[in-house]
Amino acid sequence: MKTTIKEVKSSRAGDSYYQIKHSSGLHIYVYPKEGYRSAYAIIGARYGSINTCFSRDGGEKITVPDGIAHYLEHKLFESAEGDAFTRYAETGASANAYTSFEKTCYLFSCTDHFDESFEILLDFVQDPYFTAQTVQKEQGIIGQEIKMYDDSPDWRVMFNMLEGMYHNHPVKIDIAGTVETIAEITAEKLYDCYNTFYNLNNMVLCVSGNVTVEQVLKTCDRMLKPSEPHTIENYFEDEPYEIVKPFVEQSFPVSMPLFNLGFKERADALMDERRLAETEILLSALASPTSALYRELMDSNLINNTFSYELFEGPGYCAVIFGGESRAPEQAAAKIRETIDRVKREGLSPEEFEIAKRAVYGDGISSLNSVSNIANMIADYHFNGNELFAAIDAVAEARKADVDRRLTEMLDTDNCTLSVIRNNG
């Protein structure tokens, strides 16, 4: 396969980047930022904690233990010669990795020695090294991480909510798994997952900042190993629309109660740029710091500046989540539900729509000033089948009638779960 390069331009942003389908099979995006000193690179696989039952190329169905994607992320940094973090220390780059529900990503940022750091990234991600001894050694380390998250009220309030919302979808299972499930992980199972999901055709590389296309491609041409594409099938049990239960509570030693209020949405397909834009504008109008709801909650001392909202979406799951600290979580949740029902009856005012639209558009444009934001957003959009500049255009072109219609399709106040963490000691 021949490498192809396409320039993607935005008249609104006054910027452009390059979309490359490399001969190895890897999708590459390069977003040069003239005048910037730093550079940022992220490579990710379309493989996360929910992908525990799958088949490859029409073969038999494989089921692996919960937490294996996160486990693989930890192990991939190691090699027979040492670990990648030691190598990054020599170049001065700041490196990290993370596993989410639907993807695993490895990244670094630097101001100098980009080529050397970039070579390290492409090297270790393509060179797995798993043995029975090294896999067993990691179980204690990740076991401690699991216990740490079990002791985190912010983590528990979210997963308690997800367990209250989802009957069957693995999004309700902790990304790191449990101490029991990671004990089932073997080197062979790690290789099964790696060979299925870490195929370059199932991955994306995004680079932004003080770089050039030629510079990135020079290293890619030398380092990337050609991959034959696989057909990957992921299997999930059917998930009802209805929640499991409307209320979940847990006691924790916290100074202020925490809450997550999750509205379970239909997840027939991932949102395109237009639906994402309409949803972001809607949520900003409902709950951003400029909204009437936010001011009312603050004036009533029902929330503080930890209050937030998000669209939580991935393969087979979708929810809108409001949350934060509150002295009276049930009252705060009731006020959010009341406001949603009222706005559904009355619609957004033209002023509320315009303020929210300008805010979301401004956030989109200003995010292009951060090299890490750029690369992370492009990677996310790639995995969701969307495009960065098209997403910005969709916000600019959104109409109030379309946002009002989204409101009728979302935020069913009879299909939500309130999760509360409070100190009952």
C-alpha distances (whole Å) from 298 to each of 252, 294, 301, 304, 360 are 24, 6, 5, 6, 22
Q: How far is CA 93 from the centre of its chain?
A: 23
- Inter-residue contact 309 to 410 (CB < 8 Å): no
CA separation for the pair 107, 289 (Å, rounded): 32
Q: Residue 270 pairs with which residues in a beta bridge?
A: none
User: Roughly what angle, to the nearest 10 degrees, separates helices 132-150 and 68-76?
Assistant: 120
* Collapsed DSSP state (helix, strand, coil) of residue 252: coil
Q: Specify whether the backbone of 277 is left (phi greater than 0), alpha (psi in -120 to 50) or beta.
A: alpha
CA separation for the pair 119, 108 (Å, rounded): 11
C-alpha distances (whole Å) from 303 to each of 248, 293, 307, 345 are 19, 11, 6, 25
Of the candidates 7, 73, 188, 313, the residue annotated as catalytic is 73
Catalytic-residue membership of 73? yes
Burial of 398 (0-12, 13-18, 19+ CB in 10 A): buried
- Inter-residue contact 120 to 90 (CB < 8 Å): no
> For residue 183, what is the enclosing H or E element?
none
What sign has the CA pseudo-torsion 270, 275, 280, 284?
negative
What sign has the CA pseudo-torsion 380, 84, 202, 266?
negative
CA separation for the pair 40, 18 (Å, rounded): 15
388: which 2 tokens?
A: 């960065």
Catalytic residue IDs: 73
